[in-house]
Structure 1
Amino acid sequence: MPYATADDGVRLYYEEAGSGSPVVFVHEFAGDLRSWEPQLRQFARRHHCIAYNARGFEPSDVPEKPASYSQARAADDIAAILDHFGFASAHIVGLSMGGFATLHFGIRHHDRARSLCIGGCGYGAEPGQRDRFRAEADVISAAILAQGMAKFAETYAYGPSRVQFENKDPRGFAEFKRILGEHSSLGSANTQIGVQRERPSLYDLVAEMRRITVPTLILTGDEDWPCLQPGILMKQTIPNSALAVIPNAGHAINLEEPDAYNRLVGDFLAQVEAGRWPSRDPRAVSGSITGVKT
């Protein structure tokens, strides 16, 4: 099996396809690299695509202690993938937990991001939801260890921003739930404690996000309620960013609406590759509503 090695020795399993400029796909908590299959098949036609399993998601290594899992390590693990392939930079595409890792990669390794595509990013970020999200992470971790992943998946898969997927594509949803149930219980529980619960709120990262200058696409479904306001925050804060909202869609937008998702990401990558992604016009940032001085 092919592995890249993180700076702390943890091995990260990956798969690759295609040739061209590199694109690295970073999966969500409830998925793994298999969640990117609709994108690997599409974008490998023009790009060298790499998808990998985060630490804690077999066949990647599953460190035993939660201290081996953190938001910073998740971002640095992306850099480890680039190092393994000898890439100076790459397009980074992430969803949910992977979207947070993509954002933090842009903060920690801004010189190595050709572009950032941040999808479904924002769970627990709003100030009023912070304590609730942390408490839920504790409950989730305990439930995983007590029940095992197969039983846990029967509940977690039907979250309020995932039922849209089931309603549209029962077959695809069943595959998503099966994959979730196959994950390591220890790795998933540790990910909840080390990464999800402890990650900083986006609202505490405004200064850092303002320093991101690479082309950035922010994507969310309009029924992914916890990610709507954070998506607007990122759009307002990251200078060269665009926000696209997919209608009647929940959280797993790359699986739930693969055609719309692939079209948006494909257009974004094409503009970046052509050097045509726009910088924000300073005149668009004003304290005035209409531009008229009062």
Structure 2
Amino acid sequence: MTEYFQTDDGLRLAYDDQGSGHPLLCLAGLTRNMADFEPVVERFADRARIIRLDSRGRGLSDHDPDFTNYNLVREAQDAVALLDHLGLDKASILGTSRGGLIAMGLAVGHPDRLTGVVLNDIGPVIEPDGMSQIMGYLGFRPGFRDYDEAADKLPEIMATQFRNASRSQWRDFARRVWTEAPDGLDLRYDAALRQAVLEHSATGDMPDLWPLFDALQPLPTALIRGANSNLLSRETADEMVRRQPDMIFADVPDRGHVPFLDEPEAVSAIETYLERAT
């Protein structure tokens, strides 16, 4: 059941808290929301406490009237605020894409709050091709009439990265990412995210993120990568493994950015991580 808490700047953020055991805080990607982690709840709620957050401006959470607050520092503060709200001193984080960047930032800013981290298709180097693809749709409605049309057309649209995904998987994907409106599928996030990313990009080059990843070295860590990802290259993943030889690593075949987290390789990586972290 969706619950809410209030941030120190007055926004009402949505979260879901299911299961029991080791706390696993799930943080979604730039335009995504807690629904992305439904497969994790279904598979792991019997052995972990699955906490899913809709970051500000996403899903059921309030949109921020100041789009500049859509940044990694503010969103990391919100994640810590949720842990405080729940009375949790520590948690593991399963971070998809932007959620993984938040997790790496917390390893520097709030290492005492982390038990460990699972990164889903994100690392310290963000490939330009992947970022360009994101900017191609960020802030724009998808153009599908409904979930069924999306399920019919997505396999061809996403064919260069995703193969062997069933129609039901694509329909679930569409349902998680978009909402149905009378005039077609609509965004489940604040379109002002595009303005936030553009303004951030205008300030200069991406900072060196390797120190953030290196801050994870004392912690149990796992990396899930889509084998066809255009955001996280195999070269970057190999360097991450080289720097952290004990890191659990799964390269998920027939998936791009980002794996659905229902794939056997992804499930195995999360399972192994939970065994190690607990």
> How do 1:98-113 and structure 2 match up within 5 A?
98-113=99-114
Residues 1:163 and 2:162 aligned together: yes
Residue-by-residue CA offset, 1:18-60 (whole Å, 9 max, x unaligned): 1122111112235321121111122110121111211111311
Contact 2:162 2:255 in 1 (8 A): no
1:230–1:108 CA distance, 2 compared to 1 (3 A)? farther
Please report the RMSD computed on the Cα atoms of aligned residues, expressed in angstroms: 3.3
Residues 1:221 and 2:222 aligned together: no
Higher helix share: 1
Higher strand share: 2
Residues 1:14 and 2:34 aligned together: no
Contact 2:222 2:248 in 1 (8 A): yes
Following TM superposition, by how much is the alpha carbon of 1:242 offset from its aligned partner in structure 2, in angstroms?
Answer: 3.6
> TM-score if structure 2 supplies the norm length?
0.79
Residues 1:210 and 2:214 aligned together: yes
- Give 1:284's aligned residue: none
* Aligned pair partner of 1:176 in 173, 178, 183: 173
Distance 2:41 2:248 in 1: 23
SS at match of 1:35: helix
> TM-score if structure 1 supplies the norm length?
0.75
Distance 2:63 2:82 in 1: 17
Residue-by-residue CA offset, 1:184-237 (whole Å, 9 max, x unaligned): 749443334435873897771223332332111111021113312332343344
- Give 2:182's aligned residue: none
What is the number of residues matched between the two proteins?
262
Distance 1:255 1:272 in 2: 19
Residues 1:64 and 2:60 aligned together: no
Contact 1:116 1:214 in 2 (8 A): yes
> How do 1:245-256 and structure 2 match up within 5 A?
245-255=251-261
Partner amino acid, structure 1, of 2:193 = T
- Give 1:288's aligned residue: none
> How do 1:272-287 and structure 2 match up within 5 A?
272-273=277-278
Following TM superposition, by how much is the alpha carbon of 1:17 offset from its aligned partner in structure 2, in angstroms?
Answer: 1.0
- Give 1:97's aligned residue: 98
> How do 1:35-54 and structure 2 match up within 5 A?
35-54=36-55
Following TM superposition, by how much is the alpha carbon of 1:74 offset from its aligned partner in structure 2, in angstroms?
Answer: 2.2
- Give 1:241's aligned residue: 247
Following TM superposition, by how much is the alpha carbon of 1:78 offset from its aligned partner in structure 2, in angstroms?
Answer: 1.5
Partner amino acid, structure 2, of 1:190 = A
Partner amino acid, structure 2, of 1:67 = T
Residue-by-residue CA offset, 1:124-162 (whole Å, 9 max, x unaligned): 724xx28x93x6665544x51xxx355599698834665
- Give 2:76's aligned residue: 75
Gaps of 5+ in 2: 180-184
